[in-house]
Amino acid sequence: MKHFNALTLSALLASAAVPALAQEKGDFLLGLGLGWIEPDSATTTAVGRVSADGALSPTITLEYFIAKNVGVELLASLPFEHDVDLAGAGQVGETKHLPPTLSLQYHFTNSSAFTPFVGVGINYTYFFDEKGKGPLAGVSLDLDDSWGLALHAGADYAISEKSAVRLDVRYIDIETDVKVGGAQIGKVKIDPWVFNVAYVMKF
């Protein structure tokens, strides 16, 4: 009877085991999510302090594992749209941008459902559809594209052996030259934090 109880207990524990999202060389992870980008601070320029507001957009990530627990990830998204504000004048413009980011990542070995990871990479930010607004309505506004360092950290919570819910955050170094009416007014540091939640699938 004791032998039977031990077998029954082992079977119950096995059936209740939490899945782990293990990554081996050659695996792919596809993530579909929603990201919020929050610029870090305002920057003083020749015309005053310039800042941009936060924005929300769908995101997609694709990661290929070049070794066990080590992956190369590409982040893409639909365009983020920002209002550009000038201290004392309110909104003076708007812009859209795409922030493709390539990162090298390490996923910590973990037998539980919770698997943290860290990464470092490079970001390219493409600005487009810049428009002057308010006091700058009708005046050309131009933001140069940017290259910068990107840091990444987060965790996957496995809901099966092939899928997980991901929470992650990135810090991206974005600095752009801004021109108003063709005249350069200075560099604007955007340096955003990007918060993301996603559904991740392993192939």
72-93 per-position pLDDT tens digit: 999 999 999 999 888 888 888 8
Q: Can you give the pTM of this predicted structure?
A: 0.83
In this structure, is residue 165 part of a structural domain? Answer: yes
Q: Which two tokens stand for residue 42?
A: 């305002």
> Is the pLDDT assigned to residue 121 strictly greater than 80?
yes
> Is the pLDDT assigned to residue 1 strictly greater than 80?
no
Q: What phi and psi, each to the nearest 5 degrees, are found at residue 40?
A: -75, -40
User: Order of strands across the sheet with 175-180?
Assistant: 141-143, 175-180, 183-189
> Is the pLDDT assigned to residue 159 strictly greater than 80?
yes
Can you give the pLDDT at residue 49?
82
Domain count, the chain: 1
Q: How many CA atoms are closer than 13 Å to the CA of 101, on its beta-carbon side?
A: 26
Q: Which two tokens stand for residue 15?
A: 């059936």
In this structure, is residue 103 part of a structural domain? Answer: yes
In this structure, is residue 20 part of a structural domain? Answer: no
> Is the pLDDT assigned to residue 156 strictly greater than 80?
yes
Degrees, nearest 5: CA angle 118-119-122: 160
pLDDT band at 16 (very low <50, low <70, confident <90, very high): very low
Can you give the pLDDT at residue 152?
98
Can you give the pLDDT at residue 80?
94
Percent of the chain with pLDDT over 90: 60
* Residue 173 neighbours by CB under 8 Å, 6+ apart: 123, 148, 149, 150, 191
Tell me how far apart the alpha carbons of residues 186 and 203 are, in angstroms, rounded to a whole number. Answer: 46
Lowest mean pLDDT among 44-58, 94-108, 115-129, 152-166: 44-58
In this structure, is residue 67 part of a structural domain? Answer: yes
> Is the pLDDT assigned to residue 112 strictly greater than 90?
no
> Is the pLDDT assigned to residue 19 strictly greater than 90?
no
Tell me how far apart the alpha carbons of residues 42 and 190 are, in angstroms, rounded to a whole number. Answer: 7
Domain of residue 63 covers 27-202
In this structure, is residue 112 part of a structural domain? Answer: yes
- If we measure between CA atoms, which residue out of 189, 198, 146 comes closest to residue 169? 198
In this structure, is residue 10 part of a structural domain? Answer: no
In this structure, what CATH number is given to the domain that contains residue 150? 2.40.160.20
